[in-house]
Amino acid sequence: MAVVTRFAPSPTGPLHLGHAFSAILAHDMARAAGGQFLIRMEDIDHQRSRPAWADAALDDLAWLGLTWDGPVVSQQTRLPAYRAALDRLAQMGLLFGCSCTRGDIRAALAAPQEGALPFNEGPDGPVYPGTCRGKPVSDGAAIRLDLTRAVNRVRDLAFVETGPAYGGTHALQPLEMLSWVGDVVLARRDMGTSYHLSVVVDDAAQGVTHITRGEDLFDATQIHVLLQALLSLPTPIYHHHRLIRDDQGKRLAKRDDARAISKYRAEGATPADIRRMVGLTDPECPQPRA
């Protein structure tokens, strides 16, 4: 199997050391296997995404010595594909419209109805209590996946993980998903899609075979594997890597301009310096150092 990896930043701010680590790891993994390394801009958040940040990201990646195959894909050009996936799920009776605000969800969780699931935190925050479940999809409402119906349509789902913390084969547990995932949003009011839906559709369309990303997204993988099964899409191999953290142990975010790649470049750092900062000293090493 030809190895195809990707790096998919959101162009809402400067790339930082955490992005450098993830991009280098995916790049080196593909190159070591004689495969392809792709770039995709996850710019579905049109209110925060900026073309200037996308251009700056590509400049930083090129400076790091990374090369990519084929054109850079913008998710804003992929909205018809996401709509087609939603239409397919709707035909299965797996979607419902939700007009709840975050305040509505918090209020419902603070006063649960008899028989409701306990208040848990899932990959998207507090697990949705099912307030609008069964309502039709309508304009101006978010679209959620009816998880109970979804898990009843699939059997024996699993994915392979090669990351240092979660390596092995992981089987999906439907009852656990009902408690810890809930009815996730597949299309937000202002986007027409969501991260969970778009990443699954795009990885399949680009032929991605190995997904390399931070371990903070490990819990979301069960959502993606479920969607892949429902949409008859292949399940890639996953590699969830360690996170790059600041001096206080917090993972880096876009607001951490002090650790932006552009800042290190301006101060005279070299690409080799960046590799050393994130613990990748061998340009051909597809795995982070222990």
Element (H, E) at 237: strand 237-241
In angstroms, the CA 143 to CA 145 distance is 7
142-145 and 185-187 beta bridge pairing: antiparallel
Task: For residue range 128-151, list pLDDT tens digits in order.
Answer: 999 999 999 988 899 999 999 999
pTM of the model: 0.90
Length of the chain measured in residues: 290
What is the tens place of the pLDDT at every residue in 38-69? 999 999 998 899 999 999 999 999 999 999 99
Residues 180, 226 contacting (CB under 8 angstroms): no
Residues 6+ apart with CB under 8 A from 187: 82, 86, 142, 143, 193, 194, 197
| Helical ranges in the chain per DSSP H | 17-32, 51-63, 79-91, 102-110, 147-151, 174-180, 195-205, 221-230, 261-266, 271-277
d(CA 2, CA 148): 36
**Tens digits of residue pLDDT in 156-205:** 899 999 999 899 999 998 888 988 999 999 999 889 999 999 999 999 99
pLDDT of residue 188: 93
User: Is pLDDT above 70 for 253?
Assistant: no
Supply 278's token pair: 């994130």
- Give the pLDDT band (50/70/90) at residue 280: confident
- Distance, in Å, from the CA atom of 288 to the CA atom of 290, rounded to the nearest integer, reads 6
Q: Report pLDDT for 110.
A: 72
What confidence category does residue 285 fall into, taking pLDDT thresholds of 50, 70 and 90?
A: very low
Whole-angstrom Cα distance, residue 106 to residue 257?
Answer: 32
* Residue given tokens 């996730």 in the structure block: 184
